[in-house]
Chain A
Amino acid sequence: MNIEKLSSAFSNVLGLNGDKITDDLSYGSLGWDSVAHMKIIAAIEDSFDIMLETEDVIDMSSFKKAKEILTKYGIAF
Chain B
Amino acid sequence: MNVIEKLFEYPQYSIPFEEKTNFLLKELNNLTAYHYEKCVPYQNIIKTIYHNNYGNSKNLSEIPFFPVRLFKNIELKSIPDSDVLKTLTSSGTTSMQVSKIFIDRETSLLQTKALASIVTSFIGNKRLPMIIIDSETSLGTASGMSARGAGLVGLSNFGRNHFYALDGNMQLKIKELLEFSEKHSGEKILIFGFTFMVWQNFLEELKKNNIKLNLDGYLIHSGGWKKLTEIAVSNEIFKEKIQEQTGISKIHNFYGMVEQVGSIYMECEQGYFHSPNFSEIILRSFDLKPSNIIGKEGIIQTLSVLPKSYPGHSILTEDLGIIHGIDDCKCGRKGVYFTISGRIPKAELRGCSDVYALAG
Which residues of A are interface residues toward B (Cβ below 8 A)?
27-28, 33-36, 38, 42, 45, 51-55, 57-58, 61
Please judge, given known A-B contacts A27-B105, A33-B85, A35-B142, whether A54 and B113 are in contact too, CB under 8 Å.
no
Closest chain A residue to B140 by CB distance?
A: A35
Alpha-carbon gap, A38 to B158, bound state (A): 10
Where chain A touches its partner, the secondary structure class is helix
A58 pairs with B142, CB closer than 8 A: no
The 3 A-B residue pairs with the shortest CB-CB distance, nearest first, are A33-B142, A28-B105, A34-B153
B211: CB under 8 A from chain A? no
By a CB distance below 8 angstroms, the chain A residues around B139 are 35
B125: CB under 8 A from chain A? yes
Partner of A38, one of B113, B120, B162: B162
A53 pairs with B105, CB closer than 8 A: no
Alpha-carbon gap, A38 to B145, bound state (A): 15
Please judge, given known A-B contacts A28-B85, A33-B85, A38-B157, whether A58 and B112 are in contact too, CB under 8 Å.
yes
Partner of A28, one of B108, B116, B126, B158: B108
Please judge, given known A-B contacts A35-B153, A58-B116, whether A52 and B86 are in contact too, CB under 8 Å.
no
Most central of A28, A42, A52, A61 by chain B CB within 10 Å: A28
Please judge, given known A-B contacts A33-B86, A33-B143, whether A55 and B156 are in contact too, CB under 8 Å.
no
Alpha-carbon gap, A35 to B125, bound state (A): 20
B126 pairs with A54, CB closer than 8 A: yes
Alpha-carbon gap, A35 to B139, bound state (A): 8
B74: CB under 8 A from chain A? no
